[in-house]
Amino acid sequence: MAVFSFRIDDGGPVADEQCLELPDALAARREATLFAAELLREQPDAFWDGPAWSVTVSSDTGAILFVLNLNGRDCRHERAQARGCGNVGRA
């Protein structure tokens, strides 16, 4: 078993961090994915058109192993068109 650090940055002033003891890095990657899914399920509207959210997984030595970035753009808004949404889904 190893200790992995999970840093959750949701664009707020302070990122949350928690540590978990897991069998290996693959289990830590899986946990990061499940945690991100839980965040989206609990706050499905919070990340649209705001700062990107991230889940960063580090080893017990502080080495970054995985980064999962979450962001969403609502392309129905004119300001979103200026950010490059206009060509999404077009061939």
Read off the pLDDT of residues 11-60 as tens digits, 9 standing for 90 and up.
Answer: 777 778 999 999 999 999 999 999 999 988 988 888 787 788 899 999 99
Confidence class for position 80, pLDDT limits 50, 70, 90: very low
| Total number of domains in the chain | 1
Q: Which residues, other chains included, contact 17 with Cβ-Cβ below 8 Å and sequence gap of 6+?
A: 5, 6, 7, 8
Domain span at residue 58 reads 2-87
Q: pTM of this prediction?
A: 0.75
